[in-house]
Amino acid sequence: MALYERKQLGTLLERLDETPRTLIFVAGPRQVGKTTLIEQAKKALDRELLLVRVDQPDPRPLQPFTELLGTTSAATPVAVPREPDTTWLVDVWQRARSLADLSEEGCVLALDEIQKIPRWSEAVKGLWDADRYERRRLHVILSGSSPLLMQRGLTESLAGRFEMIGLKHWSFAEMSQAFGLTVSEYVYFGGYPGALAYVDDHVRWHDYIFRALVEPNIERDILAMQRVDKPALLKQLFEVGATSSGQILSYTKMLGQLQDAGNTTTLARYLDLLERVGLLAGLRNYTGGIYRRRASSPKLNVLNTGLMSAFSGYTFEQAQADRTFWGRLVESAVGAHLWNTATGPSRLWYWRQDGSEVDFVLQRGPRLVAFEVKSHKDQADRRGLTEFRERFHPVQAVVVGGDGMALEEFLSVPADDWFKT
């Protein structure tokens, strides 16, 4: 069975068909398919793609360079030392240069998990600039599973030298087409393809979410890469966020639920870190004034509903039986969908003022789209949408679920499409 091809594969192949102008940065949270995307590109190309996984050390000595030349893509091994450094990186890059110089089509060098190399960004900058001076036909793809460290290296040393291809959590349309998930299954299990092997065993599925996704995201992507003075507080904050997804909580109220002492400034920073690794977002209240947006209590929303389900302890059947929990899970699925499928300059907010509320507000420039989620058919109150329309005049006001747009249909429409009408 052929692997499902996400739409970003087409974008990547288009970039590789152009004259090299910028580094290509494949970005996204863990377990969204970054390495798979590069492997699919390798199979689709008619020229050499040298794929090097920096996080897979090989005790064997490096293959002599003279033996490397003339081999095919499928037989291009590059041994990775136990502690790769910039000297090793330069050697690998030089191999790719030689392959590019020997071929009319050029060559592609893909460095996966490049953040494992200390001071990688400075080395890449010098190598890339030299290739641009020589007008060498060498495309370079960078990817890594530590987004905070990758972003720091890119912005500090490689500003203006890279183009990003973003991968976010899998949408319902993708999970449905690739794996046959129903909309209810997607709402509960979320967009983690790797976890699907365990959906029939709740204990193993729960363990996979925590050990393969949550723990690496927090321990390796945040605590190992950023200064976090209160790691226990950050972990507790994520647990509160995952269990309270779909709710508006003030920082003061959150502090009351946490055992480790902290302050609101610390919580805001930690919430930002959780957002940047693709775990949890804190949406701001839309008011039209920047100062008030920053001062508002955040609405917590997991960026993959599998996280909320795992922290709940509910099985799939138990979650559906709890009307209140399922309603918050559906609302979180709507928020995660809007967050993950929005591209470019789009922003996502909620709105609450004077007793009126709208679940989500999608903004692109001056244009707004308002969304109200109704998880049950007997929910018909639309006063919040009516009030919002009178105050802010959105281009569309959408009811999801209830007597409005079916959830399955809504989750099949990318966020950007709401601005096309």
Q: Are 188 and 309 in contact (CB under 8 A)?
A: yes
Q: Are residues 191 and 247 in the same domain?
A: yes
**pLDDT tens digits along 2-51:** 689 999 999 999 999 999 999 999 988 888 999 999 999 999 998 999 99
**pLDDT tens digits along 300-347:** 999 999 999 999 999 999 999 999 999 999 999 999 999 999 988 899
Q: Which domain holds residue 318?
A: 172-419
Q: Are residues 232 and 373 in the same domain?
A: yes
Q: Are residues 199 and 89 in the same domain?
A: no
Closest CA to 209 of 190, 234, 222: 190
Q: Per-residue pLDDT for 409 more than 70? A: yes
Q: Are residues 159 and 184 in the same domain?
A: no
The set of long-range contacts for 97-102, using a CB threshold of 8 Å and a minimum separation of 24, is 97/131, 97/136, 97/138, 98/65, 98/69, 99/48, 99/50, 99/68, 99/69, 100/48, 100/136, 100/137, 100/138, 101/136, 102/69, 102/70
> What confidence tier does 195 reach under pLDDT thresholds 50, 70, 90?
very high
Q: Are residues 314 and 414 in the same domain?
A: yes
Q: Are residues 176 and 69 in the same domain?
A: no
Q: Report if residue 20 sits inside a domain.
A: yes
∠ CA 279-285-289, rounded to 5°: 130
Domain end call among 118, 143, 166: 166
Q: Are residues 114 and 238 in the same domain?
A: no
| For residues 340-358, average pLDDT | 92
> What confidence tier does 68 reach under pLDDT thresholds 50, 70, 90?
very low
Q: Look up residue 53 and give its amino acid.
A: R
251: number of CA atoms within 13 Å, CB side?
18
> What confidence tier does 82 reach under pLDDT thresholds 50, 70, 90?
low
Q: Are residues 357 and 225 in the same domain?
A: yes
Q: Are residues 74 and 102 in the same domain?
A: yes
* pLDDT: which is higher, 356 or 1: 356
Q: Are residues 321 and 371 in the same domain?
A: yes
Q: Are residues 154 and 235 in the same domain?
A: no
- Our measurement of the distance from residue 98's CA atom to the centroid of its chain's CA atoms, rounded to an integer in Å, reads 34
Q: Are residues 252 and 312 in the same domain?
A: yes
CATH number of 52's domain: 3.40.50.300
Q: Per-residue pLDDT for 96 more than 60? A: yes
Instruction: Return mean pLDDT, the chain.
Output: 87
Separation of alpha carbons 147 and 250, rounded Å: 27
**pLDDT tens digits along 222-235:** 887 778 888 888 99
Q: Report if residue 1 sits inside a domain.
A: no
**pLDDT tens digits along 230-284:** 888 899 999 999 999 999 998 888 888 777 666 888 889 999 999 988 999 999 9
